[in-house]
Amino acid sequence: MINADSSTDAGSGDAHLGNLLEQVVRGEPGWQTDTGATAFLEFDTGWIAVWGDRERGGLLHREDGPAAIDFRAGESVTFQFREHGVLHRATGPAIVHYGADGTIAHEEWWHEGEFVTGTGMAA
């Protein structure tokens, strides 16, 4: 089960992701709206928050963090970094999937919508 006390591996030396993961797991009140999430969907087993570019028809877009966060209580947390709707991150993996123990289970590097490489992927 993911818990805030898990030893988190933020990957690529990105302390911001580690801090964000802790906030997500702890469920700190209001962080979704404080950071300007454009949509937030809560369901029985977790929630999804997304950030969109309103000037471009709502395409997923965020420059200062993941454009989508998918939290599944006790199972996983996935961060997706997108710019103008496409997977992209110049400073690390564009998809980071944390397993139930809080460690990185899967990462994918994307550049302007083109897949580059990944770890923890099924053969």
Mean pLDDT score of the chain: 78
Q: In whole angstroms, what is the distance from residue 20 CA to residue 10 CA? A: 9
- Among the ranges given (36-45, 60-69, 75-84), the one the predictor scored with the smallest mean pLDDT: 36-45
The region of weakest confidence among 57-61, 88-92, 103-107 is 57-61
Number of H helices, E strands in the chain: 2, 11
pLDDT at 32 over 50: yes
What is the average pLDDT across 97-112? 92
Residue with tokens 């997500």: 24
Nearest by Cα to 20 from 81, 82, 66: 66
pTM listed for this prediction: 0.74
